[in-house]
Structure 1
Amino acid sequence: MNKSINDKLYEMRNNLVNEITLLDDVQFNSEPEKNMWSIAQVCHHLVLVEEASIKVITLGLKEMDSTPKERKKIHHILIDRTKKYKAPKIVEPDVGPFEVQQIIDLLNDSRTKLMTFLSTIEDKSILAEKSMKHPALGELPLDQWIEQIYGHEQRHIEQIKEIKLLLAAKH
């Protein structure tokens, strides 16, 4: 695995855990507004996205077609929070409630699964040659599916910071 991608995966996950570690379970599970996810739900969504990404990359590796697809500036798309996306059912979080430590454990488990899975791919160059359709980003090379994990996480870290401000303003 490319060192910078590993570093970014590690850095984003660290940033995420730092954002939630000091929250109590009430803050963690409070919905800041009607029809808005709690911080716990945002984190559960990130776990589900990481697990779904492993499944998609696994399927993509089995595809026969290896016509390289156009690379996208996914980072710019993901960090633009003015554009909203509806999460596909498969990555919609449970209502909870969740405990902070429970979610940290789930995040650690999903990241371990991802890193273990990626370590089993002998020829990493194949990831740039095969692609799968992403629900928000369209057809993406498989290596960009890995990049979208930390870009997506960064997007939601910003959302968590906003939720914290909204919750603080209520009290």
Structure 2
Amino acid sequence: MNEFVNDKLDETRTNLVKEITLLSNAQFNCKPAMDVWSIAQVCHHLVLVEESSVKAIAWGLREIDNTQKERKNVQLILLDRTKKIKAPKIVEPDVEPFEVKQIMDLLNDSRTKLMTLLSSIEDKSILTERSVRHPALGELPLDQWVEQIYLHEQRHTEQIQEIKLLLVAGH
């Protein structure tokens, strides 16, 4: 990937970690409302999305008959938080409580898998030439699968900031 993408992946992950590092496990797992995920669940969802994205990209790289599809404005779609996107079942978080450190480890593992996959690709241009269907965004070129990881994380980091405000207001 290019340096911009690597920087964006690092930047959004740093921002996410900053938001959750100092939380107690109780704050981390507290749901501000019945129909709202806890911060822990949001983070688990991010891990599941990153892991699923790695699998999708790897699958797309192996597919031979894979014609290039139109590019989408992933940033516009994902960063517009007025439009709720229902998480597909495969990336819905567990309801069991998590510890902050446990989630940090999972986040590190999923990012290592992503970076290992990306560094194994000799000719990065293949990422713009192949595509795989994304459950929320439709057919998506592989480089945009990578882009959606950090944009999605940015979207949910904003959500975490809002949940934290709700937790403060509720106590």
Q: Same fold (TM over 0.5)?
A: yes
Q: Which residue of 1 aligns with 2:25?
A: 25
Shift of 1:96: 2.2
Q: Which residue of 1 aligns with 2:68?
A: 68
Q: Which residue of 1 aligns with 2:52?
A: 52
Q: Which residue of 1 aligns with 2:125?
A: 125
CA RMSD of aligned residues (A): 0.8
Shift of 1:158: 0.6
Q: Which residue of 1 aligns with 2:5?
A: 5
The 5 A counterparts of 1:25-44 are 25-44=25-44
Counterpart amino acid of residue 53 in structure 2: S
Q: Which residue of 2 aligns with 1:104?
A: 104
Shift of 1:108: 0.7
Q: How many residues align?
A: 171
Shift of 1:65: 2.3
Shift of 1:73: 1.0
Q: Which residue of 2 aligns with 1:135?
A: 135
TM-score (norm 1): 0.98
Q: Which residue of 2 aligns with 1:169?
A: 169
Shift of 1:15: 0.3
Counterpart amino acid of residue 71 in structure 2: R
Distance in 2 between the 1:107 and 1:139 partners?
A: 26
Distance in 1 between the 2:5 and 2:103 partners?
A: 23
Which stretch of the first structure deviates more once superposed, 139-148 or 66-75? 66-75
Identity over aligned residues, as a percent? 73
Counterpart amino acid of residue 122 in structure 1: E
Structure 2 SS opposite 1:106: helix
Q: Which residue of 2 aligns with 1:89?
A: 89
Distance in 2 between the 1:59 and 1:136 partners?
A: 18
Query: Any conservation in 2 of the 1:32–1:166 contact (CA below 8 Å)?
Result: yes
Which stretch of the first structure deviates more once superposed, 13-22 or 66-75? 66-75
TM-score (norm 2): 0.98
Shift of 1:67: 2.0
Distance in 1 between the 2:131 and 2:159 partners?
A: 28
Shift of 1:69: 1.1
Shift of 1:68: 1.7
Shift of 1:4: 0.3
Query: Any conservation in 2 of the 1:40–1:96 contact (CA below 8 Å)?
Result: no
Distance in 1 between the 2:66 and 2:25 partners?
A: 46
Query: Any conservation in 2 of the 1:132–1:140 contact (CA below 8 Å)?
Result: yes
Q: For each residue in 1:108-135, what CA deviation from the matched residue of structure 2 results, as whole angstroms up to 9, or x when unmatched?
A: 1110111011111111100100001111
Distance in 2 between the 1:33 and 1:66 partners?
A: 43
Query: Any conservation in 2 of the 1:67–1:130 contact (CA below 8 Å)?
Result: yes
Unaligned runs of 5+ in 2: none
Distance in 2 between the 1:71 and 1:13 partners?
A: 25
Shift of 1:61: 1.0
